Chains A and B, each alone.
Chain A
Amino acid sequence: MLLREAFEKDNERKYIMFGGKGGLGKTTFSAATAFWLAQQGHKVLLFSVDPQASLSDIFKQDIFGKGAVKIMENLYAQEIDADSHIRRYQDEIRKKIRDMYGIDQVPEEIEHYIQAASAEPAMEESAIFDAVVDIVVGGDYDFYIYDLVPLGHALYYLSMAKVYDEWINRITKLRQEMREQEVMVARIKREKITEEDQILTELEYIKNRINQSSSILTDRKKTAFYFVVVPEEMIILDTAKAAQLFAKFDVPLAGYVVNRVLPAELAGQNIPPYLQNRLKMQNRYLEEIDKTFGAQVVGRVPELERDVTGLPMIEKLAGIMFGNGKA
């Protein structure tokens, strides 16, 4: 199968993402890919940045906010709990303020600010962003599989790296200019130059983290982004649009996987008109998919007889997606 070839050929590949509209099977494909890679002897981390993550459901095991949980040999899964991540982070900030100024309690106004900032929706996203950087930079695994949130969010997430980068560059520049003024005053007054600017150090740190993350996301050798589509008109149109947007952010698009394909052998059987119509419609859209995405279609996965949850079903799907042999 094509998907398997891609994995065998690109041996530098390390970060895999599945994206697409909600409910098309991103989590399922992520899990199956992680399973297959683990079976081949690679150490794999599958993680979700979705606040309504479904890894716990697919593995039938509660892993939410528990860090990387071992699912089987070589396979680890993690669901990021943004809320508790933010709470821990707030506490760190409070402690830092108390320690820096030797006070027992954070001033009221500052405390208000900490709470207000954390209530913003952007807080959760930027916290998740940071948590992902932590995971990816760790480098403990051979493969990292992102179970991405639906398209809009994914785009937002990817664009954030770019926006952050510009933002930080600008304030770093302002901070450097401030520093120059400071040094000048010190020189005029013939005072000793004060110790290094800690804010500048922090800014450099933040910039570094954002750069690391965006360079991984846009690395053509190491990263592969797959779109999940199903043979339906709306989905095809939306996916084509999304692909254009993704290209703008330099996301390395590796291909499209078609999900929920009704088995072709049904056509030869005695099936009711309803199913016959569905089959006919589907064939039309499959052609459309081939026409729109061409050689980038790396696989077709049939509609299975039941939901993919639990390891045996994931194994079955992995077999279909990658073929059963060894890599």
Chain B
Amino acid sequence: MAKKVKEVKKEKEEKEGFFGKLKEIAYGMSAHDMSRYALRTRASMEHLFILITMGDLLGIPILPPYYSLRLLPYVVPNIATWKRRMLREKDVSDAMF
């Protein structure tokens, strides 16, 4: 008897797991676009932010170097992609991605 109860419970869990996953997929599909869009906005802002604070890297001194150095450590990983983005020429791929 005790064994049977356990099996039923297990079955139920599996069922929930299945629907749960289905729900996740449906949610993920709709959320994916939204989050991708938000992430892109976030990335553009990040690049704008680095431009304002670290403009000197491209030869555009914007303002006060003493304090922009203070922020430098935090943007180190982003600098390579940022430079590429700022300096690249526009092409067809811009419309695609």
User: What is A's interface to B at a CB cutoff of 8 Å?
Assistant: 86, 89-90, 93, 96-97, 100-101, 107, 109-110, 113-114, 116-118, 120, 122-123, 126-127, 129-130, 160, 163-164, 167-168, 170-171, 174-175, 177-178, 181-182, 184-185, 188-189, 198-199, 202-203, 206
Contact = CB atoms under 8 A, between A and B. Distances in A.
A226 to B, nearest CB: 28
Closest 7 CB pairs of A and B: A126-B66, A181-B42, A126-B64, A117-B65, A188-B35, A123-B65, A178-B45
A167 B63 contact: yes
Interface stretch (B2-10, B46-54, B84-92): B46-54
Contact of B42 (A97, A168, A182): A182
B31 interface: yes
Interface string B15-40: 00000000000000001001100110
Interface in B62-88: 63-77, 79-80
A120 B56 contact: yes
Given A93-B70, A126-B64, A107 B38 contact: no
Nearest to B69: A93
Contacts of A123: 65-66
A93 B73 contact: yes
Contacts of B74: 100, 198-199, 202
A117 B57 CA distance: 9
B82 to A, nearest CB: 11
Contacts of B71: 199, 202-203
Contacts of B53: 171
B35 A110 contact: no
Contacts of A127: 66
A163 to B, nearest CB: 7
Counting chain A CB atoms within 10 Å of each CB, the highest count among B53, B73, B77 belongs to B73
Interface residues of B, number: 34
Contact of B69 (A90, A109, A164): A90
Contacts, number: 106
16 contacts: A93-B69, A93-B70, A100-B73, A110-B76, A110-B79, A113-B57, A117-B56, A123-B66, A130-B66, A171-B49, A177-B45, A181-B38, A184-B35, A188-B31, A203-B71, A206-B70
A97 B66 contact: no
A53 to B, nearest CB: 19
Contact of A97 (B45, B54, B73): B73
Nearest to B74: A199
Nearest to B75: A199
A86 B69 CA distance: 11
Contact of B79 (A109, A160, A163): A109
A199 B66 CA distance: 15
A67 to B, nearest CB: 20
Given A97-B73, A198-B74, A178 B46 contact: yes
Contacts of A96: 73
Contacts of A100: 73-74, 76
A184 B38 contact: yes
Nearest to B41: A181
A89 B39 CA distance: 34
A178 B96 CA distance: 24
Contact of B63 (A93, A116, A163): A163
A122 B69 CA distance: 13
Given A122-B61, A167-B64, A113 B42 contact: no
Contacts of B31: 188-189
A130 B68 CA distance: 13
A41 B6 CA distance: 87
B79 A93 contact: no
Given A117-B65, A184-B35, A185-B42, 19 more contacts: A96-B73, A107-B76, A110-B79, A113-B54, A114-B69, A120-B56, A120-B65, A122-B64, A122-B65, A130-B66, A168-B67, A171-B49, A175-B49, A182-B42, A184-B38, A188-B31, A189-B31, A199-B75, A202-B74
